[in-house]
Amino acid sequence: MYAIAGAAGRTGQVAARTLLAAKHKVRAIVRNAAKAEPLRAAGADIAVAAFQDRDALASALDGALGLYVLLPEDLSVAEFHAHRRRMADGLAAAVRASGVPHVVFLSTPAAAVADGNGPAKDLYYAEAALRASGAKLTVVSACYLQENALAALPAAQHEGVYPNFFPSADVAFPTVATRDIGQLAARCLLEPPPKSAVIDLQGPLYSVRQMAEALGRCLGKPLQVVDVPPAAHVGALTSAGLPAEVATALAEMFAFAASGRSHRTRHDGGGRGAARGAGTIGVSTVLLKALAERSPTPSVASRFTSVSGLFYLGMGLAICAAPGLVPTLFFEPPFAGREAGLFRLVGWVMAVVGWFLWIGGRTGARSFVAAGIVARLAVPLVAVPLALSGIFPHMLWVFGVLDPVSGILTWRLMSKR
């Protein structure tokens, strides 16, 4: 059995599901059992324990062949660093008490030094505590997380900007997706190294500007990169709602990264060197998935667009399957030639348009709703001249009027948002 602490999180879920898919037993350790119900349904055993509760955590680790764990960041606590170090102490004590032989710990290259590196100083402390626990320790030293781009989401959505806290928005640096981390953690549990080791995990290179462009594409609008000077880091972060100690720690992290010291170069006395892991997932894939999982409530205009799409999809499929319905539904003269084949094509086009309206409306993207409005307002430019020339006038007049009315109604709904 393998234990996954923080199994409801992004990397923990991936690690747990990877192990379950390979038919291994998993114990998901969480603070809130309700969040782990999907894992329970997938076959995992659920244990509720907090890091500070050594006895409960040790009980959850009993019988485990290995543990995957990270040190959570609770941005709501007043003493950010002290709280994390208490969790690290509780975790190490539980590992020692349970006798779990192997721990896979998520860390960062910045944790190579003990101080001056923001939140990574707590990871340095946790690594030392876990090494002293007697368990074999595999440190997954992951570079900059691609999901960090989502921190800019409020500013991107409401102001059209992407804040940059790095020295340059155009210098590319290694990134990695949390899914790659979770999958590597599962492999490390299944194939433990002969002794403690560090694995540097790096994926595709992106600059801040490239990540801003990727987020902008996902949102359907361009984003302006705004450089935040170092002197303004703490103020910008506290104005975003972060506690002062957390903002100071993050500002220190950005300063550490700007210094160029964020590469893990140490080797411990046990001869531990750094191995390499490669992430393969791109930032656009990560952002699209993350935004889809957030499932924002679509606007009324988006829902109306989706319903309109279902109407066109159903109508198109009906005409494609039974083109003879056209004369009956629209009081047109009976077909005299090969009009049935033409209307099969028309029905297929309607179905495809309906499909895109339905799917696009469900995304909630205003840009898609706006594109649908323009398309429907343009229908009379084709339908009305054909109707006036006597080509299936009843049907074309219906769509020549129905489409722009639908477009105008959608525009009114969107403008009231």
For residue 391, name the pLDDT band (cuts at 50, 70, 90): confident
pTM of the entire predicted model: 0.69
Q: Which of residues 235, 263, 294 is at a domain's end?
A: 294
Residues 239 and 186 in one domain: yes
Residues 144 and 201 in one domain: yes
Residues 258 and 323 in one domain: no
% pLDDT > 90, the chain: 52
132-146: b or e for each residue (b if 16 or more CB lie within 10 Å)? ebebbbbbbbbbbbb
Higher per-residue pLDDT: 364 or 82? 82
Residues 277 and 305 in one domain: no
Which one-letter DSSP state was computed for residue 330? Answer: H
Tell me the angle at which helices 10-21 and 178-190 cross, rounded to the nearest 10 degrees.
50
Q: What does the pLDDT look like over 96-137, one tens digit per residue?
A: 999 999 999 999 999 999 999 999 999 999 999 999 999 999
Residue-level pLDDT at 267: 41
Residues 311 and 288 in one domain: no
Residue 278, pLDDT > 80, answer no
Residue-level pLDDT at 365: 73
Residues 171 and 265 in one domain: yes
Which residues are CB-neighbours of 4 under 8 A, at least 6 positions away?
A: 12, 15, 16, 19, 26, 27, 28, 29, 67, 68, 69
For residue 273, name the pLDDT band (cuts at 50, 70, 90): very low
Determine the Cα–Cα distance for residues 90 and 57; give it in Å rounded to an integer.
8
Q: Rounded to a whole number, what is the distance in angstroms from the first to the last CA of the chain?
A: 51
Residue 203, pLDDT > 70, answer yes
Tell me the angle at which helices 80-98 and 244-258 cross, rounded to the nearest 10 degrees.
80
- Full residue range of the structural domain in which residue 75 is found: 2-294
Determine the Cα–Cα distance for residues 42 and 39; give it in Å rounded to an integer.
5
The answer to which of 200-214, 355-369, 396-410 has the lowest mean pLDDT is 355-369
Average pLDDT, the chain: 88
Residue 266, pLDDT > 50, answer no
For residue 297, name the pLDDT band (cuts at 50, 70, 90): low
Residue-level pLDDT at 87: 95
DSSP 54-107: HHHHHHHHTT-SEEEE-----TT-S-HHHHHHHHHHHHHHHHHHHT-SEEEEEE
What is the DSSP pairing of strand 205-206 with strand 173-176? antiparallel
Residues 261 and 391 in one domain: no
Q: Which of residues 254, 276, 294 is at a domain's end?
A: 294
Q: Which of residues 253, 268, 294 is at a domain's end?
A: 294
Q: What does the pLDDT look like over 324-349, one tens digit per residue?
A: 888 888 888 887 777 888 888 888 98
Query: Residue 215 in contact with residue 47, Cβ under 8 Å?
Result: no
Residues 71 and 29 in one domain: yes
Query: Residue 195 in contact with residue 272, Cβ under 8 Å?
Result: yes
CATH number for the domain that contains residue 176: 3.40.50.720
- Report how many domains make up the chain: 2
Residue 263, pLDDT > 70, answer no
